[in-house]
Amino acid sequence: MDQRLGRKKPKQRTPEYGFTTWSAADKATLQKTIDPLQNAFRKQPAGFLHSEATTLLCAPREEVYDRLTSFLSTCCMVSGLVLSAVAGAALHPLKAGDFADDKESVVEAFNVVASLTVATQFCVVLYSTFTLYILISSAHNPSAVYRALMHMQRWIGFLEFATFVPAMGTFGLIALAAYLHCGRTAGGIVLAACAALAVGFQAAFVAMCNKAFPYNSWAWATVASAAYPWLSPRVEKDARAHGELLLAQAKDGVLGALDKNNNYVIDAKGAAEESASRAELSPWVEGAIGPLQPTDLRLLVEQLLEAGLTRER
């Protein structure tokens, strides 16, 4: 607080949030990540591994950090809930000797499914938490968040996948437990109900995503809906439109400083050329306004360049 004026001092604005420090490899990775939205739109058998990261990259600068941390936190919480619900089944496995001989194989199946589900969910909780720790401690501005996000695209996609599939395995545990502990009629009812609930909810979810989030539904087609969206011209059309909408939003975010001609292709100007421009402008700035601290000079020069207030001679 400025004691003389009685008001807060204005925050110093960083130049384009540090995008000028990105390497050529960073820019190439970003281009490859956003291309499926429009320039390289196609069927993606493994699209579920990067679809949410791709769409998160289109978030506005002031929102991308909160959205990414919320995503990782949600993965952690959902896996934690599943873990707490089924951990006992893995830590205290059923004994085959407590059941009839014809049910021993089912007992073994129950123990295996329970153990794999718990182990997978524990890994998701642990590693999503540590990913969140590192993100919070290291990503201090939107540029750093965008850069981290594009390099961890498959990682967060894998965390999402590892949350979804084992959680669905809980249906299997319920059906197996009913078969082991209930009579034939009750076991059959539970099995039919679990199958109906799983298929019904999944079908309703896919139908919703096909209309509300068509690009994400398109990318998840092989895992979530047996490639049904690929057979629907309407879903393909909507997915293309959704991708274009996301890219348009990205102009206010990750593409704002990297795509000056608005063609959704990262500008070809190299890091060496950018450094040369800064080196050429720095002496002129110091000559015009006087000596500056190195950091202040660098920030001011980058602000001038990124704001378009200079021109080549």
Q: What's the pLDDT at 3?
A: 45
Supply the DSSP symbol for 21. Answer: G
DSSP, collapsed to helix, strand or coil, labels residue 7 as strand
Q: What's the pLDDT at 254?
A: 86
* 280 assigned to some structural domain: no
Tokens representing 205? Answer: 């979810």
d(CA 288, CA 250): 36
- Express each pLDDT in 148-189 by its tens digit: 999 999 999 999 999 988 888 888 999 999 999 999 999 999
* 295 assigned to some structural domain: no
CB 79 within 8 A of CB 163: yes
CB 55 within 8 A of CB 246: yes
* 270 assigned to some structural domain: no
Tokens representing 105? Answer: 């194989």
For the chain (313 residues), the mean pLDDT of every run of 10, in chain order, is 46 52 84 89 93 94 95 94 91 92 93 94 95 95 93 95 86 92 93 94 96 96 93 96 92 81 71 62 74 72 66 62
How far lies 265's CA from each of 95, 242, 247, in Å? 60, 18, 11
Write down the residue that tokens 């384009």 correspond to.
Answer: 16
* 281 assigned to some structural domain: no
Please give the tally of structural domains in the chain. 1
* 216 assigned to some structural domain: yes
β-bridge partners, 148: none
d(CA 299, CA 258): 18
Closest Cα partner for 225 from 242, 209, 241?
209
Q: The whole model's pTM is what? A: 0.78
* 49 assigned to some structural domain: yes
User: What are the φ and ψ backbone dihedral angles of 49, each rounded to 5 degrees?
Assistant: -75, -15
* 51 assigned to some structural domain: yes
Q: What number of other Cβ atoms are within 10 A of residue 82's Cβ?
A: 23
d(CA 139, CA 112): 39
State the residue range of the domain holding 230.
22-28+36-250
* 89 assigned to some structural domain: yes
Q: What's the pLDDT at 264?
A: 76
